[in-house]
A and B are shown apart, each in its own frame.
Chain A
Amino acid sequence: MKPFTRIDAKAAPLALSNIDTDQIIPKQFLKTVDRIGLSKGLFYDFRFDEAGREKPDFVLNQPAYKDAGVLIAGDNFGCGSSREHAPWALLDFGISCVISTSFADIFYNNCFQNGLLPVVLPAQAVEDLMAQARGGNHVISVDLAAQTVTAPDGRVYDFEIDPSRKHKMLNGLDAIGETLQKAPDIDVYESARALDTPWLERA
């Protein structure tokens, strides 16, 4: 996993609540056996019309936001399907941080497996950032080590994050490698379990 430390990037405002993972990446892009190249499906129905032409109104199609690195979104971002294609598509598009008042659990979790930082801020802070991002001045800084978001106007917002998730994200650690270091614990657990629930063991 690519570590996430700090970014200074343009922020795109997407002021909709309950943006689900079907909207982040529709079904037709899930028929892949790869993790790469998914940016083509990101927000597909928002970005393109039925004939495949870009919709000029959509924020990520506007010249000022085409190279956005941060997305500011409404409540409950990433609800619905567990598809990890959603964070893959955002990252592939160049977005490595999403700011919202709340995230759906599975999406939130998937972000941390991939180096995409989900930042939770209070409603007023998200509104302030959203308003500034709508204006011309929309470069913001997100610093994971310091746990801060610095708005274009210089205001600094602190955010909370689980310390172990922060540590893994800052260092790009491989969760499987870490867990495999605990293989003896898993062995011990399995031996005990086999006695408790023998009917689950295959002869």
Chain B
Amino acid sequence: MAAKTLYDKIWDAHLVAEGDGETILYIDLHLIHEVTTPQAFAGLRAAGRPVRRPDRTLAVADHNVPTEGQALGAGAVADEEARLQLLTLERNVAENGIEYFPMGDLRNGIVHVVGPEQGRTQPGMTIVCGDSHTSTHGAFGALAQGIGTSEVEHVLATQTLRQAKSKNMRVTIDGTPAPGVGAKDYALAVIGAIGTAGGTGHVIEYAGEAIRALSMEGRMTLCNLTIEAGARAGLVAPDETTFDYIRGRPAAPKGAAWDMAVAHWKSFFTDEDAVFDREIVLDAAQIAPLVTWGTSPEDVMPIDGRVPDPASFATPDKRASAERALDYMGLTAGQPITEAKIDRVFIGSCTNSRIEDLRAAAAVVQKAFLEGRLVAPHVRAMVVPGSGLVKAQAEDEGLDAIFKAAGFDWREPGCSMCLGMNPDRLAPGERCASTSNRNFEGRQGRGGRTHLLSPAMAAAAAIAGHLTDVRDFI
């Protein structure tokens, strides 16, 4: 039998039918939210089609929820259009018998935090959601990808997806990282190395000792950002770290079913002699804390470096893009990036809002606080936990007290300022140190300037008032 990759194995295990170039793939878990589903449910209704497997579907409210006053419910959301979308979701899930964690429910939060947290995300699964950061769930060795609304409707109606198979790419990261370097830096390093279209048409499997050493939170951060390298899905083969994370969660198998499940999950790994279409190798020891300087996630640089000169880029297109990016970002070629004075800090998003992220940020803040330092007076800093449960756990651990004492705003869960669909957004010209995933023009608010970095780096920037090297804080 030919050697297979992890991706090959998951793919083969979900084949329903094969046809002319497209395969019908069974979908184990369909996550839905308020923004990319109303048109899908309307389509089903118009065609008189039922939801095939409501039990394989889970709904949350995350993209446009305010990060305060959530206990008042969707009906109290001030933004009329957001309110209509939230109420439409509530109607759609009720009509179709879909499990739903409404805004204000402790279990609600960002869809890519909630799925794993509830134990719904499991190895070997196929998972889809109308959101490109669905790649996050690949951290569990699940084939997880973002889809459009037409495909959301297709999955609701058929519990399958029509798709052509992608190619296999492997990114191996060996070595031991320096203190202050972690999953976010690995991800930015990969995007910087292969470019934002480097993974187009591929599924990326992450391997190597630095990946094995990552926690599930770290693996989720890495897989989350895979879409920013152009690949729809990222994968990490499941191991004991994975099983330990899942054990005991609400939807995790229990008793005898647990042993059966673990045996099943252990069959999802890449065979030793499997061949990848493309291989990338990085050394964790060579990766510095990274930050973006431009308006594409591939515009990465080490925090102790200087802003690149557009003239140094290879093609006229790239030079033009770099010039436009520097102009938009208000930066000058050759200046140390640590000179960039910030106005805002955002710690949150499906990339970095889990408990480990908040702990990493809080550790930096606490150390500075004990040295008498607070959030810089000109900086507005906010922490938005990924779910109600993350928020509760952080409060149990006293992290909220550390953040608040230092001058951070402690918010309620949601996507928040990652995409600024709710009231949390940047004003024109404001510069933000952000743990999110996209530094696109206008992403966090029209004219807003986003620098992507890790939670510890964001916390350090909040204290310093400018981008700064977290290694000076630990």
A residues within 8 Å of B by Cβ?
15-18, 20, 22-23, 26-28, 30-35, 45, 50, 74-76, 79-84, 87, 102, 104-106, 109-110, 113-114, 162-165, 167, 175-176, 179-180, 182-183, 185-186, 189-190, 193, 196-202
How many A-B Cβ pairs are below 8 Å? 186
Residues of B within 8 A of A196 (CB): 264
From 286 to 334 in chain B, residues with beta carbon under 8 angstroms from any chain A beta carbon are 296, 317-318, 320-321, 324
Residue B393 is within 8 A (CB to CB) of chain A in the complex: no
User: Contact partner of B164 among A87, A162, A190, CB < 8 A?
Assistant: A162
18 contacts between A and B (CB under 8 A): A20-B438, A27-B420, A33-B39, A34-B39, A45-B442, A76-B197, A80-B440, A82-B146, A82-B148, A106-B146, A113-B151, A165-B21, A176-B154, A176-B157, A197-B261, A199-B261, A200-B122, A201-B55
CA distance A26 to B421 in the complex (A): 9
Decide: A84 near B36, CB < 8 A? Known: A105-B201, A109-B148, A176-B158: yes
* Contact across chains for B154 and A189 when beta carbons are under 8 A apart: no
From 31 to 57 in chain B, residues with beta carbon under 8 angstroms from any chain A beta carbon are 35-36, 38-39, 42, 47, 49, 52, 55-56
* Contact across chains for A32 and B24 when beta carbons are under 8 A apart: no
Residues of B within 8 A of A162 (CB): 21-22, 164
Residues of B within 8 A of A23 (CB): 440-442
Residues of B within 8 A of A113 (CB): 148, 150-151
CA distance A10 to B333 in the complex (A): 38
CA distance A186 to B253 in the complex (A): 24
CA distance A17 to B1 in the complex (A): 43
List 4 additional contacts besides A30-B421, A87-B148, A163-B21; criterion CB under 8 Å. Answer: A50-B428, A82-B147, A199-B260, A200-B28
Chain A residue nearest in CB terms to B195: A76
Interface size class on chain B is 35 or more
* Contact across chains for A186 and B148 when beta carbons are under 8 A apart: no
CA distance A95 to B290 in the complex (A): 39
User: Contact partner of A26 among B26, B42, B157, B442, CB < 8 A?
Assistant: B442
- What are the interface flags for B180-224 relative to A under an 8 Å C-beta threshold, 1 for contact and 0 otherwise? 000000000000000011001100000000000000000000000
Residues of A within 8 A of B231 (CB): 105
